[in-house]
């Protein structure tokens, strides 16, 4: 069954087509869009297959697990692949106009698909060293994207971004080395099996801590987040939106995968730690956001704050908690990308991201206000939108698991998020335009359809997720159940012959 390899192959083929036609500049966005659309369709197909047939496994090169590299597709991976496909399509359309010619001719589109290849690879792999390789693929593409254009502030942000991410990769690699030394295997399912029968499995905590720090840096969790607000606001907004939607979530994905599948021995240590870290991440992110006046910086700090909710779901560690984390992640990827794209639209109209110098947008562009309201209030958790249900599931899971403190923190942080979003709304749309400000650059021009379309599409998805909670939550529950009972996963990867030995 080749299906699990296709999410990696599709972006690769797109890159090849992009490079073959590199001289035809006007074709590039269209090839990219076609590739992304195919990827989205593939993701939907995979989701249906996983729903009906359970876990799909591909042993590459016919080397059976645990010896070869295994690609595994369970419910959690297929959800993430679908989200990556949605973001790929949106960013492809948005980049038609939003990315200038010069950046497009410097390998912008091939790099976007390189990033998607790395992200998809990280979602499908069932082997920890392979995961490291996909992380590096993703990082290399993101390094190029964040420096593309070579502006001064971009290079400044990039030095921090590159250094911190490299250190995290090295720690990840050290964790792999030590874990391999202790267990003699790299396959995730085999690790789960070996660690569940080992006597002194407390010793693996050395690796577990290394992995924890590595993934925390990647997902910008509380003590390790400083690189994110220093770098994410520097590149063009389409790139920031792509990073905000996907990159940090890959770290969270890896953390959820590792700490539900095989680092489950020392629950008394890890789960309270996750709750603490999640709480601090939420609070610090949202409070630092409150002091900012650059739209992109406010939104960047909110990325951090919302990662906290996902870590909290992992820390609660019940079926409802992990399902809440998955649901929240799905909502956040869509809504977060969307808020950045809207910030790009606002910049297109006003020529600025600085809230102090813009205002009175509602008079000029009432529709833009509505497009902003949907993802922003979604993030803040206003009822019929998706964020409300994400938080509701997480907080009710917290209460029923007896974790009252973190649940109250989560509620309070929701309030502060609302405050930030209302602040952007107030400053950009509602207040009178500052008197001595320059006239808006693009006030009278029409907004390009290619930029409004993905925003509307993602907004529609946020609304749909809010109105169709039941089926999505059911699937998140399935994924969560699969994660918390790794038996079928292990059996699907290793096969009955290996287990009976």
Partner 1 sequence: METILAFVIGLLFAAGVYLLLRRSIVKLILGIMLLSHSINLLIFTAGGLHKGNPQFSDTVMEAGLSNSTDPLPQALILTAIVIGFGITAFFLALMYRFYQVTGTEDLDELKEGDTK
Binding residues for partner 1, rule: CB under 8 A, are 129, 132-133, 136, 139-140, 143-144, 147, 150-153, 155-160, 162-163, 166-167, 170, 173-174, 176-178, 180-182, 184, 186, 229-230, 234
Instruction: Please identify, using beta-carbon distances, which residue of 297 and 391 lies nearer to partner 1.
Output: 297
Cα–Cα dist 6/58, whole Å: 11
Cβ atoms of residues 291 and 236 within 8 Å: no
Judged on CB neighbours under 10 Å (0-12, 13-18, 19+), 157 is buried
Cβ atoms of residues 363 and 406 within 8 Å: no
Judged on CB neighbours under 10 Å (0-12, 13-18, 19+), 218 is buried
From the CB of 490, what's the least distance to partner 1, in Å?
A: 21
CA atoms within 13 A on the CB side of 20: 8
From the CB of 135, what's the least distance to partner 1, in Å?
A: 10
Instruction: Please identify, using beta-carbon distances, which residue of 6 and 148 lies nearer to partner 1.
Output: 148
Instruction: Please identify, using beta-carbon distances, which residue of 149 and 321 lies nearer to partner 1.
Output: 149
From the CB of 299, what's the least distance to partner 1, in Å?
A: 17
Instruction: Please identify, using beta-carbon distances, which residue of 97 and 151 lies nearer to partner 1.
Output: 151
From the CB of 83, what's the least distance to partner 1, in Å?
A: 26
User: Hey, which bits of 47-144 come out as E strands?
Assistant: 56-59, 70-73
Instruction: Please identify, using beta-carbon distances, which residue of 46 and 210 lies nearer to partner 1.
Output: 210
Cα–Cα dist 461/167, whole Å: 36
The structure tokens listed for 80 are 């993430």
The structure tokens listed for 181 are 């030394």
CA 372 to the chain's CA centroid: 20
From the CB of 166, what's the least distance to partner 1, in Å?
A: 5
Nearest to 91 by CA among 454, 335, 460, 334: 454
From the CB of 159, what's the least distance to partner 1, in Å?
A: 6
Instruction: Please identify, using beta-carbon distances, which residue of 11 and 157 lies nearer to partner 1.
Output: 157
From the CB of 361, what's the least distance to partner 1, in Å?
A: 23
Residues 6+ apart with CB under 8 A from 432: 359, 360
From the CB of 132, what's the least distance to partner 1, in Å?
A: 8
Instruction: Please identify, using beta-carbon distances, which residue of 95 and 207 lies nearer to partner 1.
Output: 207
Torsion, Cα 226 235 325 328, to 10 degrees, reads 130
Cα–Cα dist 52/65, whole Å: 24
Instruction: Please identify, using beta-carbon distances, which residue of 97 and 294 lies nearer to partner 1.
Output: 294
Cβ atoms of residues 124 and 161 within 8 Å: no
Judged on CB neighbours under 10 Å (0-12, 13-18, 19+), 197 is exposed
Omega of the bond leading into 66 within 30 degrees of 0 (cis): yes
From the CB of 226, what's the least distance to partner 1, in Å?
A: 8
Helix (H) or strand (E) holding 221: none
From the CB of 432, what's the least distance to partner 1, in Å?
A: 26
Instruction: Please identify, using beta-carbon distances, which residue of 44 and 144 lies nearer to partner 1.
Output: 144
Instruction: Please identify, using beta-carbon distances, which residue of 145 and 371 lies nearer to partner 1.
Output: 145
């Amino acid at each position: 069954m080749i299906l699990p390899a296709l999410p990696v192959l599709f972006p690769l083929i797109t890159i090849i087509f992009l490079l073959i036609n590199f001289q035809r500049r006007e074709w590039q966005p269209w090839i990219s869009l076609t590739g992304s659309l195919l990827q989205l369709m593939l993701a939907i197909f995979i989701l249906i297959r996983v729903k009906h047939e359970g876990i799909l496994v591909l042993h590459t090169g016919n080397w059976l697990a645990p010896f070869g590299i295994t690609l595994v597709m369970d419910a959690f991976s297929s959800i993430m692949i679908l989200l990556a496909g949605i973001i790929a399509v949106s960013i492809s359309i948005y980049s038609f106009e939003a990315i200038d010619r010069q950046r497009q001719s410097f390998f912008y589109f091939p790099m976007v698909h390189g990033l998607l290849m790395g992200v998809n690879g990280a979602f499908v792999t069932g082997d920890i060293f392979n995961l490291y390789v996909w992380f590096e693929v993703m990082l290399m593409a993101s390094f190029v994207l964040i420096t593309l254009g070579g502006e001064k502030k971009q290079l400044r942000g990039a030095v921090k971004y590159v250094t911190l991410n490299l250190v995290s990769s090295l720690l990840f690699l050290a964790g792999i080395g030590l874990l391999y030394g202790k267990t003699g295997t790299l396959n995730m399912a085999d690790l789960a099996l070996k660690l569940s029968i080992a006597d002194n499995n407390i010793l693996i905590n050395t690796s577990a801590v290394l992995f924890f720090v590595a993934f925390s840096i990647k997902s910008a969790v509380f003590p390790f987040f400083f690189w994110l607000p220093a770098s994410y606001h520097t590149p063009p907004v389409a790139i920031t939106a792509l990073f905000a939607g996907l990159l940090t979530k890959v770290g969270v994905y890896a953390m959820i995968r590792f700490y539900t599948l095989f680092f489950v021995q020392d629950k008394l240590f890890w789960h309270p730690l996750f709750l603490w870290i999640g709480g601090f991440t939420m609070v610090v992110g949202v409070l630092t956001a409150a002091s900012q006046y650059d739209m992109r910086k406010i939104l960047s700090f909110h990325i951090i704050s919302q990662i906290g909710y996902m870590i909290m779901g992992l820390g609660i560690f019940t079926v409802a908690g992990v399902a809440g984390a998955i649901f929240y992640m799905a909502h956040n990827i869509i809504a977060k990308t969307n808020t950045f794209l809207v910030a790009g639209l606002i910049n297109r109209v006003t020529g600025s991201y600085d809230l102090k110098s813009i205002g009175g947008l509602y008079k000029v562009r009432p529709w833009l206000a509505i497009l902003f309201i949907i993802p922003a209030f979604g993030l803040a958790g206003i009822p019929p939108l998706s964020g409300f249900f994400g938080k509701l599931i997480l907080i009710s899971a917290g209460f029923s698991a007896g974790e009252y403190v973190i649940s109250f923190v989560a509620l309070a942080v929701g309030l502060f998020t609302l405050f930030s979003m209302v602040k952007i709304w107030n400053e950009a749309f509602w207040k009178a335009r500052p008197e001595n400000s320059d006239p808006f650059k693009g006030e009278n021009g029409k907004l390009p359809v290619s930029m409004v379309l993905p925003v509307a599409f993602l907004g529609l998805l946020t609304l749909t997720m809010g109105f169709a909670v039941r089926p999505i939550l059911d699937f998140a529950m399935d994924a969560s159940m699969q994660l918390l009972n790794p038996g079928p996963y292990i059996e699907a990867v290793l096969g009955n012959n290996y287990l009976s030995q």
